[in-house]
Structures are given as structure tokens and as C-alpha cells.
Structure 1
Amino acid sequence: MNVPRPPLAGLQTPGFAHYAVAWSPFHTNRIALASAANFGLVGNGRLHFVTTGPGAGPQQGLKIEKQFDTQDALYDVAWSELHENQLATGSGDGSVKLWDVMLNDYPIRAWHEHTREVFSVDWSNIKKDTFASSSWDGSVKLWMPDRPRSVMTLQAHPSCVYQALFSPHQPDIIATCSTDGTMKIFDLRAPAYATGPAANAFTAPLTAAALTVPASGTEILSIDWNKYRPFVLASTGVDKMVKVWDCRMAQQSVPNAQAVGGTCEVQLPGHEYAVRKVQWNPHRAEVLASASYDMTCRVWNMAPGVPSHLMHIHDAHTEFVVGCSWSLYEEGVIASCGWDGRLNLFRV
């Protein structure tokens, strides 16, 4: 049973709604926030660099150490896996930017290859010099900070790609999700063009996916790889469901065709509106968190034999909750952020 508990700590950013939150992989007390004025519909953006206060644990409070202003909304942020002070962001103007928190005012690099909003960025924790971006233009691009242009482009979906994530188990595998209701897995070692009615071979031929999972009849807004079970992913979106998929059991219907399938292990109902973010616990293989437009962040436990999959409901936000991130160093602590401009830390 969920027992309401106050946040461990909270922080308000007047005038800016949050879109994404990420804990640093290097420091126990560093958090990044990607934010936007006017709920990201029009106006500028801001990257907040937040730290927990001195002392043990996040209970000491939160403080904005530095902030960077941008000309358009920021929709996602990812810490570098190679340099402790660097972060990548995705922006509403189609740009991808690299920042250094030790410097002031401007990004250290900016790329402008996407033609529409960049909605996700993700740094590979295996190939630590590489990160990916996904865009409403249907493409996924791979970047290296020292290169002036992207090193690879996947025409992943015929419509908006909400998220693209590197596998934490295999360096050349990327999963994507889209407005088309599918989740796809790509093998970067063997890029090829897709064929069939969904692929436009004249203007923007789609890249062939190693596996396509028809995960929903509506938009899929977020996915995440399980950190302990290879080829197990969670998905969520407009259908309000959190789903867990085993993608090892797919079969090809005809020889040489792209594989379609994936087994849905469990469906987790409970959210009242679309679910914007899902993330597996980095410490426990059976636990994940979800953030929803119903203004809650929920934590689920998939362990066999538990009486209820729902572990906890965090309902201290007053607007859409669109981001959540587990602390990598303190087990059971989550950061959540929302359109109310509030960053909350809570413990499960």
C-alpha cells in the first residue's frame, strides 16, 4: 500500500517547466535538468546544473550551481560517460549541443543536422565516446564530441522518434520508439535499407531494423533497457500502460525478412493519463519507475509472488510529471521533474 511521504528535497525553477532530469554517473550529488519556458511550446530553454548540499544523502537540500540559457526549449539531457563535466542536450530548434559545466555561457560544440525537434539524447555506457539523438524528423543520429558532423544516421521510423537508447549490454545495439506505435531494435554493425510499403525508397528510405515490436496501438513515448536482463525492455506511452517486453523470442515470418514480434511479459495499469517516461532501477532488476501526465511518479516491482506490482506513488507535483531518474549511488532514491517547474527527490 502506498503511504504518502513528503519529498526528501525539492527545488523550484520559476518560469521554466522541466522536460528531463539525469543524475551524474560520476558524482553522487550532481543532477542535470533540461527545461523550457512556456511549457516548451514557444520561447527559450535552460539547462540547470543542480547539486545536493553538503553532508550525507540528499536530505541536505538542492541548490542550482549553474545554468545555461538557450534560444529554444530543451527536451532532454544526458551526461557524458567519458568526461565528468560534460553533458549533451536536445533542443526544439533541431540542434544538439555539448556543454561543460566548468565553463560559462556557451556550449563547447553545437550540431544542426536534425530538421525538427530533438526529443532525446543518450550516451553509450560501453562506447563512451559516442552518444545518440532522436528527432521528430524520424531519424536517429550518432555523434562523437570531437567530430564536426554525425558519424551515422538511421532513418528509423516514418514519423517522430521519441527516444533512442543504446543497449547497456551490447555496444552496437540501439532501441527506438515512435508515434507509429512500434519499438525497434537496430544493429549498427549491419545497417541496411528496409523494403516494403512503409519504406519510401525515393526520398527517405527507412533503415532496416533487426526487430520491430508492435508495442501499442498509440504513440510510444518512452522505453528503457533492463540493466540486468539483456533484450528485456520496458515501454510506455499514450495508452497509459507500462509494458515489459522480452525481445529474444521474435521469429521471422518469411526468410530474409525483418523480424517482427517480442513477448509482452507483463502489463502494468494504474496511470490515469499518458505515461511520459519509464526507467529501470540500476540496482534491482525487477524494479522500474514511471512518470505520467496524471501528475504522479510510480514505482513498480515485477518480482514473482509480490501481492501488488505497485510499490509507491509519488504525488507531490502539481502538473505533468515528465521525467524521472534513479540515483546511481544511493539505492531507492529517485529524482522526478515536471511542468510545475519542480524537481523532487524521494525515496522508495
Structure 2
Amino acid sequence: MATYLTPNRHGYSVRFSPFNPDRLVVATSQYFGLTGGGTLFLLELTAEGTLTEVHNYQWTDGLFDVVWSESNPSLVISASGDGALQLWDLNNPKCNPVKFREHKKEVYSLDWSKIRQEQLFLSASWDCTVKLWDPNRQNAINTFSGHKQLVYNAVFSPKIPNCFASVSGDGTLKLWNAHNPSLPTTFRVHDAEVLSCDWCKYEENLIATSGSDGFIRGWDIRNYNQPIFQLKGCSSAIRKIQFSPFSTSVLASVSYDFSTRIWDFKRSIEAVEIIEHHSEFVYGLDWNVLRKGQIADCGWDSLVHVFNPSSLKDL
């Protein structure tokens, strides 16, 4: 396992590059994101199996998420507590980022469309809106209002063009047409705040949600009267979930119970592996799409880990 310490910065998000299997970025905040600034770390896995810092980038407010461009390997976008988005050119660390300012409160989630011809990204905010952006324009293309409480996560469908999902503290999942902000499909998925959602990479109608109730639920968007699976085991809120890029039924999760877990909903309702290498809330999670079986996580203990869970060798 490769580990990196981000001194006096608490981890919120970690993302592998979609172009280079050894590069990743980590969004962090001072003072657990309550006050102070933020630092974006560009890290690299070495041939010796360690993590080293390539560069870091400073912002005046805490950074809560970061996402790579799907078309340019040197561009990333971060989201901060002051409602701003920052487009960084990693090859020019001395240049100020391009800023996007429309949200009224903290921006908590970013996603870049995997459909390359679109070149669009989403931002989800505590102002209860989701915004659709073109990185070459200063103003958002569309604003999506409808959630009654803060929006924690918004993610594009990897299979269905112009479709994305959002989840909120109001307990609902909404499915949106990116070109029609007024008519989302809405259904209640948890009797609690919904903190994360993710689409299956192989089944276009399958989406999973996680909540502050400690449940992970899978839904068929064609028939959402009841979940098609429900996973339980975390003793606290599940902050983030992600489907494996290499398997239909495998997911990973991170939780406020300090754990990272691997699940296979076709095998068991319980986690197939529990990894406990953090001493604080675990916030960030990502699969390496270029290296099978590799995961990164980060947490409020200022640690970033890159590792290969043993259960994935069997799965």
C-alpha cells in the first residue's frame, strides 16, 4: 500500500487520472473544511510503490471535490466552500486557475461527462441546485432546481446520453435530461440524507445510492418501487460509493465509521472485505480505470492510500 500525508489538510476527494495510471489528484481543506483554505495535491505513484508529491495548488477556501478533464490530461476542476469552481492547468502551476462563479453556497460534487464528444461537467451545491457547464464558457449552460435540501452528488450516466442523476439531503434521487431542467424524474430512495450515487458501468438502467442511514441500495430506473438490492454493514453514514469499472456487481464504499469496504451484491448483502486503515472519517474514493483492482481513498486523518484490496483478486 502506498500512503501520502497531507499535513494540516484534511482529505475530501481523490481521483485517478483517466490518462496516466500513476497520477492522482487530492482535494483537501484546512480545519476539516469548516474554515481556512484548501490545497489541491498532484501525486504520482513511483516505481518503488510509494506516493510522491509532484506539485500543490492553493485556494483561499476549502476544496471539497476535484475531477479530471476527459479530453486533456493536464486539466482538472476543483470545487470549493465559497461556491466557486477552479479550472487548473497542472502543466502551469504558476498560472491562476480559470474561475467559475454562480453557486451561492458550497459546491460539494463535480463530474465530467464520459461521453467525450459532449465535453461537459456538472457541479452540485448546498444551494440546492446542480449546474451544467462547458469548460470553455464562463456561464453555466443550465441550472437544475428541484431538490428541497442541499445536493450532495450529481453524476452523468456513462451509457445514456444527456442523462444525469442527483441526490440530496431531502432523501430523493432525481434523474435529469441535461437539456431540459424543468422535468426530472423523482423518487424517494432513503428515509435519510442521500450522500452519494453512482451508475453501473455495464447495466445502463442500474444506479446505486448511499445514505446517512448506513445503507447502500441499488435501483432499476425503469421500476423503482423497491430496490433490487440493499447492502448493510456500516455503522455510520456512507459518504461515497462507486461501482467497479471492471465488474457489474462490485462496488466500493467509504464511511464515517473509518472504513473502506468492497461489496459484491450478487454474492452477499454484507461486505466481502472491510479495510480499516484510517483513524477519521473517510471521504474520498476512486477506482483506477487503467489498472485493474486498484483503489485510492482519503480521509480527515490527512492520509491518502493507494492499494489493491485482496478480495478483488477473487472477484
Q: Quickly name the TM-score band, shorter chain normalised.
A: over 0.9
Question: Quick check: 1:47–1:69 contact (8 Å CA) kept in 2?
Answer: yes
Give the deviation of 1:144 after TM superposition: 1.1
Structure 2 Cα separation of the partners of residues 164 and 262 of structure 1: 22
Does residue 1:240 correspond to 2:228, yes or no? Answer: no
Q: Which has the higher strand share?
A: 2
Give the deviation of 1:118 after TM superposition: 0.3
1:45 pairs with one of 11, 21, 38: 38
Give the deviation of 1:108 after TM superposition: 3.2
Does residue 1:220 correspond to 2:194, yes or no? Answer: yes
Residue number in structure 2 paired with 1:268: 231
Gaps of 5+ in 1: 1-7, 193-207, 250-260
Structure number, greater radius of gyration:
1
4+ aligned runs moved over 4 Å, structure 1: none
- AA aligned to 2:300 is W
- AA aligned to 1:150 is A
Residue number in structure 1 paired with 2:280: 319
Give the deviation of 1:107 after TM superposition: 3.9
Structure 2 Cα separation of the partners of residues 281 and 341 of structure 1: 25
Residue number in structure 2 paired with 1:15: 8
Give the deviation of 1:191 after TM superposition: 3.3
Structure 2 Cα separation of the partners of residues 128 and 28 of structure 1: 24
Residue number in structure 2 paired with 1:203: none
Aligned residues: 308
Return closer, same or farther for 1:51/1:156 CA change in 2, 3 Å cut-off: farther
- AA aligned to 1:340 is D
Give the deviation of 1:301 after TM superposition: 0.6
1:7-57 deviations in whole A, cap 9, x for unaligned?
Answer: x11111110000001111111101110000000010000100011003xxx
Give the deviation of 1:190 after TM superposition: 3.3
- AA aligned to 1:220 is V
Structure 2 Cα separation of the partners of residues 308 and 160 of structure 1: 29
Question: Quick check: 1:142–1:153 contact (8 Å CA) kept in 2?
Answer: yes
Q: What TM-score comes out, normalization by structure 2 length?
A: 0.95
Return closer, same or farther for 1:346/1:191 CA change in 2, 3 Å cut-off: same
- AA aligned to 1:296 is S
Residue number in structure 1 paired with 2:28: 35
Give the deviation of 1:128 after TM superposition: 4.4
Give the deviation of 1:106 after TM superposition: 4.3
1:95-115 deviations in whole A, cap 9, x for unaligned?
Answer: 011011101144431011000
Structure 1 Cα separation of the partners of residues 86 and 225 of structure 2: 35
Quote the RMSD (CA, aligned, Å). Answer: 1.3
- AA aligned to 2:174 is K
Gaps of 5+ in 2: 310-315
Question: Quick check: 1:174–1:188 contact (8 Å CA) kept in 2?
Answer: yes
Three-state SS of the structure 2 residue aligned to 1:90 is: strand
Question: Quick check: 1:248–1:262 contact (8 Å CA) kept in 2?
Answer: no
